[in-house]
Each structure stands twice: as C-alpha cells, then as structure tokens.
C-alpha cells in the first residue's frame, strides 16, 4: 500500500535521489523549464522535509550515487548545456565541492557505486546517446574510461548486484529526434 508522507518544495522532473544516514535526499531536477540546484532531505522518523545547501550547478537529468559516505551529483543538463561536471556532498560538513570532471558530458545517464568507485554509464551528450562508461576513483580524484556497452543508451537504469553492474533499458534517439527506440535489453 502506498501512503503519502509529505510534499516536496515544488513539482520536479529528472531529479536524483539517494539515501544517506537513513534520510532521503532529492537533488536538482526541473519544474517546467526551470532547472534547479535545490536539495531537499526527508527524515522518515520525524516525517519532516528540510532544505539543504544547494548544489553549485543547476542540474536536471543528473545521476546520483553515494560512495563511501559522500553523495555525488554527476553530469546532467543546466538548461543550456550538457554537463561533465561533478559535485560531491559532504554530509558531515553539509557542503558541496567540485571533484574532477568526466571526460564526456552526460545527461540521463546511469550512475552507481561498485568496488569503491563511481560509474557513469551511457546517457546523452547533446548529439547522440552514448555507449561509453567511465569510472571515478575518489582517492585519486580521476575519471577513467571503461569498457563500453554494446548499445547506446539514454535514460538508462543502472544497479549493482553481486559485484556486477547492470545496465537496463533506455533509448537510442538522437537529440533532434523525439521518436526514440526503446530498449528492452539488459547488459552486465
């Protein structure tokens, strides 16, 4: 059974979500044409939403993942450009800082953590959907290219299970074409 537990501050699309210390974070997104840098946090014990310090960059279509404590906001679109920039939320200091940028701008890509690294998978760069994947090492602050997927995927879902990364679904439409070919393909 679904029950309503509260309302966010405005309606949003293409935002990121993550859980840190048993609290739900809602990050960025857009309301109509307005792209947001807003971060909200929901405490399920007190049933209270709080506004957290905003990201430096407004982002929708971003990827979010938690790695070794901090949360990362990866890529996305700021309303004008596809982004390769990455920000890290420090939950203790309650602040955002930039880390190394990806080599490729990515919006609507998948982001997940696996084996102490952050992976950015697929997405779109403004001209096409991407097959590429890169991984971030937080100890060296560097991104490295990894093995690409066999299919181009924008709007891809990613998850890790049993030391494997899975890429699920997505589409391969170019930015100029709204007739996307949806994929039922799953890659590991």
128 in Cβ contact with 152 (< 8 Å): yes
pLDDT of the residue at 178? 56
Query: What is the DSSP code (8-state) at residue 8?
Result: -
How deeply is 99 buried, as exposed, middle or buried, from its count of CB atoms within 10 A (0-12, 13-18, 19+)? Answer: middle
Q: Which of 166, 73, 88, 83 is nearest to 124 (CA)?
A: 83
Residue 155 CA, distance from chain mean position = 10
Gap between the Cα atoms of 42 and 98, Å rounded: 24
Condensed to tens digits (0 to 9), the pLDDT of residues 43-102 reads 999 999 999 999 999 999 999 999 999 999 999 999 999 999 999 999 999 999 999 999
The total number of residues shown for the chain amounts to 188
Condensed to tens digits (0 to 9), the pLDDT of residues 80-95 reads 999 999 999 999 999 9
Which residue reads 């709080």 in tokens?
50
Gap between the Cα atoms of 135 and 184, Å rounded: 24
Domain at 16-187, CATH class: mainly beta
Whether the pTM exceeds 0.85: the reply is: yes
């Amino acid at each position: 059974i679904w029950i309503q537990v509260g309302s966010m501050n405005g309606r949003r699309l293409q935002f990121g979500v993550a859980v840190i210390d048993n609290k739900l974070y809602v990050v960025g997104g857009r309301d109509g044409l307005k792209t947001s840098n807003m971060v909200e946090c929901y405490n399920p014990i007190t049933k209270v939403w709080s506004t957290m310090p905003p990201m430096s960059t407004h982002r929708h279509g971003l990827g979010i993942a938690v790695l070794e404590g901090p949360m990362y906001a990866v890529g996305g679109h700021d309303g004008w450009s596809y982004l390769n920039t990455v920000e890290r939320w420090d939950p203790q200091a309650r602040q955002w800082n930039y880390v190394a940028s990806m080599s490729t701008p990515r919006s609507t890509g998948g982001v997940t953590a696996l084996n102490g690294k952050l992976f950015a998978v697929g997405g779109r760069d403004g001209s096409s959907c991407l097959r590429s994947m890169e991984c971030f090492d937080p100890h060296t602050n560097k991104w490295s290219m990894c093995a690409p997927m066999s299919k181009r995927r924008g709007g891809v879902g990613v998850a890790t299970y049993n030391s494997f990364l899975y890429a699920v679904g997505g589409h391969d439409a170019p930015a100029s074409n709204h007739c996307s070919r949806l994929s039922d393909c799953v890659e590991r």
